[in-house]
Amino acid sequence: MCLGFRSTDDTDSMSIAQLAWQVFGCVCWLVAAAWLVQGWLVLRGMPALPDLTKIADRLPTLVRGEGPDVTVVVPACNEEATIEATLRSLLASEGVHLQVIAVDDRSTDDTGASMDRVAAEWQASRGLHTLEVLHVRELEQGWLGKPHAMALAARQARAPWILFTDGDVLFAPSALQLALRQAQAARADHLILIPTLILKTVGERAMLAAMQTLSQWTIRLWRVSNPKAKDFIGVGGFNLIRRAAYERVGGFEALRMEVLDDLRLGWMVKRAGLRQDVALGPELVRIRWIEGPLAVVRLVEKNGFSVYRFRPGLTLVACIGLALHAVFPLVAMASGGWMALAGVLTYAGIAMVYEGNRCVTQVRAWHAVLFAPAVAVVIYAFVRSMVLTLARGGVTWRGTLYPLDELRRAAGRGW
């Protein structure tokens, strides 16, 4: 019989539910505040990055030596579809003298033949630059393929600067000389010229914008050049480093089993107290990195787990954190009232970050409406990378299995 009062258990249950709802509300507002602050920082910080296409007239004249100015290392494994265009774009560089070393890293397609053909044609033309081709038939024990290929080429470098790039990157004729002039002007030991990604669909733009937005919680590009900041960067498509600095940090010999070789090189440079710089230059360096929104899943398969140094607990915690940032604002907006305002403000902050990053991504702020599904794809990609690596007992890449125990020993505990 109903007596018009609730039992103690019912009261306790309602109190717990109300408390949980209040905590959820507080978290939603904290998330909103964090994103608004982040948006303000990005809008304020990203314009500080130099755009080489806008300041070219103000950059100093290139200081030249007697030999090549830059040794360009181009490792490639089964890149027959893109390697020829990459090499020809490098050989078309103007205002700078290049030593290009292309490395055929155990390719099973026509990558090596394409390299040899371009080299023969170039030698016959007697152009200013030089093109050398190395063919790697076997991988040395204790090495990953790409660091091994780059280390071999770097040992033959004759220039005071080395550019490490990839076999699917396209260079504008002025890209190398502008980057070198900026590096000399900034007195940098390591310069990153942010590539322009070739994007063709809304889904690709949504994925790029979301990944760039998430990465800036740990790497603030405008702080990389500050020697007092811990922020660092390395980009596989354009890692330009003084040869003396490369040798000082141990080169790729120190990264023999490092999956994230490009980023880890940047970490070593910053940790050594050397100077880093980041520059923009729309269309100077181009790459078709994402082909369809779900391509990220395949791309992250190799290196996703390595971001968290192959630690399952840390990977899961990070993925849960990403999920909360994606889910909480949507739940808040669906709840109505002040909670809905918190969700709206969160997405306003995310849109601010998108707008601030537009100089890098070329993606408009309205793509922030796709943030949640893009984050869901990122989470799936990282979890899949972890599961596959644990199930296989290592990372499988380009037909080679690299044992997890060896990868963990080389990775260390953190950044």
Task: Render pLDDT for 129-172 as a digit per residue (tens, 0 to 9).
Answer: 999 999 999 999 999 999 999 999 999 999 999 999 999 999 99
Per-residue pLDDT at 6 = 52
What value does the mean pLDDT take over residues 228-254? 96
Instruction: Judge whether residue 242 has pLDDT over 50.
Output: yes
Beta bridge partners of 395: 402
Three-state DSSP class for residue 117:
helix
Instruction: Judge whether residue 3 has pLDDT over 80.
Output: no
For 191, residues 6+ apart whose C-beta sits below 8 A from its C-beta are 179, 182, 183, 240, 241, 276, 277, 278, 279
Per-residue pLDDT at 2 = 43
Question: What's the alpha-carbon Rg for the chain, to the nearest Å?
Answer: 24
Instruction: Judge whether residue 287 has pLDDT over 90.
Output: yes
String of DSSP letters for 261-287? HHHHHHHHHHHTT--EEEEB-TTTEEE
Per-residue pLDDT at 1 = 38
Distance CA 134, CA 145 (A): 14
Q: Which residue in this structure is represented by tokens 């190398």? A: 176
Three-state DSSP class for residue 136:
strand
Burial (CB count <10 Å: 0-12, 13-18, 19+), residue 205:
buried
Per-residue pLDDT at 10 = 56
Nearest in space to 370 (alpha carbons), one of 342, 344, 351: 351
Strand ranges of the sheet holding 285-287, from the earlier edge strand across to the other edge: 169-171, 285-287, 196-197
Local structure of residue 231 (DSSP, 8 states) = -
User: In whole numbers, what is the pLDDT of the chain averaged over residues?
Assistant: 92
Task: Render pLDDT for 85-138 as a digit per residue (tens, 0 to 9).
Answer: 999 999 999 999 999 999 999 999 999 999 999 999 999 888 889 999 999 999
What value does the mean pLDDT take over residues 42-61? 95
pTM above 0.85, yes or no: yes
Domains, the chain, in order of start with CATH, read: 52-287 (3.90.550.10), 295-411 (no CATH)
What value does the mean pLDDT take over residues 302-314? 93
Per-residue pLDDT at 5 = 46
What value does the mean pLDDT take over residues 56-72? 90
What value does the mean pLDDT take over residues 299-320? 93
Per-residue pLDDT at 370 = 95
Distance CA 100, CA 319 (A): 41
Buried b / exposed e along 225-263 (16+ C-beta atoms within 10 A): beeeeebbbbbbbbbbbbbebbebbebbeebbbbbbbbb
Instruction: Judge whether residue 232 has pLDDT over 50.
Output: yes
Per-residue pLDDT at 58 = 94
Instruction: Judge whether residue 390 has pLDDT over 90.
Output: yes
Task: Render pLDDT for 315-350 as a digit per residue (tens, 0 to 9).
Answer: 999 999 999 888 889 988 988 888 899 999 999 999
Instruction: Judge whether residue 4 has pLDDT over 60.
Output: no
